């Protein structure tokens, strides 16, 4: 999809119920970084396709899911910390 302007380029992905990953294609990397901050997706790639890398957290937002996998952030999604104090 081609956007009419930079604001439209942000509206397009944000105006969906999904938020797993997005790609921004630009020759201006700094402009791409600013746009990535405004896009509502768990992963945003600049000049690259959405891909999986086991070194970084993986998961979506909105209707794309709300869990994280991998890295320390992921394991925290599967546990409930609890304190047990024993007096002796």
Residues 16-48: tens digit of each pLDDT: 888 778 888 899 999 999 999 999 888 888 998
Q: Give the model's pLDDT for residue 41.
A: 86
Cβ atoms 50, 23 nearer than 8 A = yes
**According to CATH, what is the number of the domain 6-76?**
3.40.309.10
* pLDDT at position 12 over 80: yes
Q: What is the DSSP string of 18-74?
A: B-SEEEE--S-HHHHHHHHHHS-SSEEEESS-----TTS-B---BTT-S--BSHHHH
Domain boundaries, the chain: 6-76
Between 62 and 8, name the one with better pLDDT.
Answer: 8
Q: Give the model's pLDDT for residue 47.
A: 92
């Amino acid at each position: 999809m081609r956007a009419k302007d930079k604001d439209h380029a942000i509206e397009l992905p944000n105006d969906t119920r999904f938020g797993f990953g997005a790609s921004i294609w630009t020759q201006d990397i700094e402009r791409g970084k600013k746009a990535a901050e405004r896009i509502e997706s768990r992963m945003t790639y600049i000049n690259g396709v959405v891909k999986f890398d086991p070194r970084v957290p993986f998961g979506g937002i909105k209707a794309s899911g709300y869990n994280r996998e991998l890295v320390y952030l992921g394991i925290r999604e599967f546990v409930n910390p609890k304190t047990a104090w024993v007096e002796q």
